Amino acid sequence: MGDSATSRVWKRFLKAQSAIRTALAAICPPPRQATACGDRLAALATIAHLKEAFKASTLNLIAAYQTHTQSFF
């Protein structure tokens, strides 16, 4: 994936975190961690939740999310 494609996916991910976390909450509770503030820490919390939700998947996190929810960020 080129740099511009990666950047576009990252921006979509950042904008969609609330919807992503809502969808993930239906799959599993969020992992325990310290309360975080700020965009970077919120993104890390979302990534940790993705890892928890799809830890048994052989797909990468984005593909596992997309396959499970039938939607993209």
Residue 31 has pLDDT above 70, yes or no: yes
pLDDT greater at residue 27 or residue 33: 27
Give the total number of structural domains in the chain.
1
Residue closest to 11 by CA, chosen among 35, 39, 38? 39
For residue 48, count CB atoms less than 10 angstroms from its CB and return exposed for 0-12, middle for 13-18, buried for 19 or more. middle
**Domain range enclosing 62:** 3-69
Return the pLDDT at 37.
66
Task: State the average pLDDT over residues 25-52.
Answer: 84
Q: How far lies 58's CA from each of 3, 14, 65, 68, in Å?
A: 24, 24, 12, 13
When pLDDT is cut at 50, 70 and 90, the band that residue 52 belongs to is very high
